[in-house]
Chains A and B, each alone.
Chain A
């Protein structure tokens, strides 16, 4: 096995040149994480797969216009996944999972355990989230994974909008500090 894997940036450059091999490599690198994120938001595998396909197609079509200030390639791809999944969630008005409960009850198949063990990043971010006071963590998770707007969260949680904003701000600040401490 070669140690000289192409960088994410190099893969995007190849994608822009319509290199299907680069798309395959990008999928092999991030397909599972993209699917896991979409599944976490949507709670069903078929919808999650559709989102992943759409996101990779969007990357395929948009690679030529990708610019670094939109985030690194991984962040860019995952932001497409997130955006599309949340968009679908918001349109499906009858489907709103209870995110915390859903997160805690998602099947922990053997692959999950194996991956979590292998993926230090995965474990670290989860641990960082768990260190947040519950109100902050819940606000961040309901917003990011549950697709709720801050106005909806204010109503859902029965607190003023300013409180929701404050929980987001302080929670993200704490996350930033904690993540910086792990790097």
Chain B
């Protein structure tokens, strides 16, 4: 079976597929070297997009938060506040 997913590779690289479609593409990539090569090439282009964003400086405390989280194991406490919790 070799239903290539070329039609969806661009959206896949951009993260613009829903979970079901992304899973279908990922499953195909696991077994298809040709599509995998195309996907890698697209990922490289998409990987440049972060370089287009205006650079902003995070608060200095973030560095210590990151290091403290690693020091303390998987998940260091985040400052309590409204909103969503960790997505990990």
- Give the number of residues in A that approach B within 8 Å (Cβ atoms): 76
Chain B residues in 8 Å Cβ range of A45 = 58-59
Q: Which residues of A contact B55 (CB under 8 A)?
A: 32-33, 36, 111-112, 115-116, 119, 122
Across the interface, do A20 and B52 meet the contact criterion of CB distance under 8 Å? no
Give how many A-B residue pairs fall within 8 Å (CB-CB): 182
Given A20-B67, A54-B87 in contact, is the A150-B11 Cβ separation under 8 Å?
yes
Interface residue tally for chain B (C-beta within 8 Å): 49
* B12 → A minimal CB distance (Å): 10
Q: Is A144 an interface residue (CB 8 A)?
A: yes
User: Which A residue's beta carbon lies closest to that of B14?
Assistant: A143
Residues of B within 8 A of A35 (CB): 56-58, 62
Give A56 to B70 CA distance when docked, in angstroms: 9
**A residues adjacent to B (C-beta < 8 A):** 20, 23-24, 27-28, 31-33, 35-37, 39-40, 45-54, 56-58, 60-61, 69, 71, 74-75, 78-79, 81-84, 86-88, 91-92, 106, 108-109, 111-112, 115-116, 119, 121-122, 124-126, 128-129, 140, 143-145, 147-151, 153, 164-165, 168-169, 172, 175-176, 179
Please report B residues at the A interface, Cβ cutoff 8 Å. 7-8, 10-11, 13-18, 21, 40-59, 62-63, 65-67, 69-71, 74-76, 78, 81, 83-84, 86-88
